[in-house]
């Protein structure tokens, strides 16, 4: 593979891993064949989850990179009012399949760092309340990492990327609470059993600029009356022409050394599909299990990311 193609491939893979998340649709209260997904939580209530995520990049069925991460997630209700909730969202005990100790340290930079995530009264519209404190702590940890890796320019570049992602509320919420966005993906809406909902939505443009168009489908296709749970599934397809254009513009702005982009007319189409689902406890609104998969294709390059969130203990009805 020539140098230009190699550099372009590395950049495109990195961009794919920035990801776009499924648009949030919110939570439920079980009633016959309809469900309204609403959070009914108590002060100091806490749930424990296991989170597993993986990312695999292939070209013509040849594996280019593969990574998996496992960690514990604790979710504690630290405030409950008529207008919403504040949750303490904390990750710990990371297990990472990588032989690179630096990469492991970088992934664990937010370990044991509590994110205060706020919701509205339905348990949707999530935001990070203490984003400035989180950003400052990540910056402190990053400075320590920089000191011990000052002779490795590529490592410094990766550290600076993490710092940028935590430098504003918008960027932090876009890049550092992907598990929370998945957790709350169905909260705040009403569903009817086996009724498919087709929507045209806007999704964030991770490269900056206007949001992108996407087609989404939702369906509640399983209801367990005895257990008081239901399963909602979703799929989403981002407009490929728009996604290709913003990807190309972003690559053009990088001024990559040793590589030259082809004309836009010759640039491969970039497509992104997302699908997943959640099993939700109807009375409380706690998520019991959730899985989300994203697949990005460009020419023969395929990136597949998957994240699962599983409750550690059973919730009583």
pLDDT for residue 251? 85
Q: Which of 214, 234, 231, 299 is nearest to 20 (CA)?
A: 214
Strands 127-128 and 27-31: unpaired
In the chain the domains, ranked by start, together with CATH numbers, are: 3-126+177-311 (2.30.230)
Strands 127-128 and 115-119: antiparallel
pLDDT for residue 7? 37
pLDDT for residue 13? 43
Q: Is 96 helix (H, G, I), strand (E, B) or coil?
A: strand
pLDDT for residue 33? 80
pLDDT for residue 29? 43
- Residues contacting residue 140 through CB under 8 Å, at least 6 positions apart: none
pLDDT for residue 314? 65
pLDDT for residue 313? 78
Residues of the chain with pLDDT under 50: 1-31, 257
pLDDT for residue 120? 87
pLDDT for residue 258? 52
pLDDT for residue 31? 47
Q: pTM for the full model?
A: 0.86
């Amino acid at each position: 593979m020539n140098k230009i193609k190699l550099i372009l491939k590395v950049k495109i893979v990195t961009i794919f891993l920035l990801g776009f998340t499924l648009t949030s649709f919110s939570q439920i209260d079980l009633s016959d064949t309809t469900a309204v997904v609403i959070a009914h939580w108590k002060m100091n209530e806490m749930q424990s989850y296991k989170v597993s995520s993986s990312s695999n990049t292939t070209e013509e069925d040849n594996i280019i990179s593969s990574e998996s991460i496992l960690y514990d997630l604790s979710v504690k209700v630290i405030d409950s009012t008529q207008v919403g909730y504040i949750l303490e969202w904390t990750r710990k005990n990371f297990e990472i399949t990588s032989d690179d100790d630096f990469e492991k340290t970088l992934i664990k930079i937010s370990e044991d760092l509590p994110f205060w995530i706020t919701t509205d009264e339905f348990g949707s519209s999530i935001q990070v309340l203490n984003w400035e404190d989180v950003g400052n702590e990540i910056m402190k940890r990053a400075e320590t990492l920089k000191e011990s890796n000052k002779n490795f320019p590529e490592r410094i570049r990766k550290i600076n990327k993490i710092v940028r992602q935590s430098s504003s509320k918008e960027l932090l919420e876009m890049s550092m609470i992907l598990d929370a966005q998945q957790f709350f993906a169905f909260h705040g809406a009403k569903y009817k059993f086996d009724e498919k909902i087709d929507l045209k939505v806007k999704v964030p443009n991770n490269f900056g600029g206007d949001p992108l168009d996407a087609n989404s489908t939702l369906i509640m296709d399983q209801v367990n009356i005895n257990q008081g749970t239901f399963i909602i599934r979703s799929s989403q397809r981002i407009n490929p022409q728009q996604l290709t254009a913003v990807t190309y513009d972003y690559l053009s702005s990088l001024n990559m050394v040793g590589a030259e982009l082809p004309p836009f007319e010759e640039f491969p189409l970039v497509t992104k599909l997302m699908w997943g689902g959640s099993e939700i406890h109807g009375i409380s609104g706690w998520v019991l299990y959730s899985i989300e998969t994203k697949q990005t294709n460009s020419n023969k390059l395929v990136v597949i990311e998957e994240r699962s969130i599983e409750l550690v203990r059973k919730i009583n009805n």
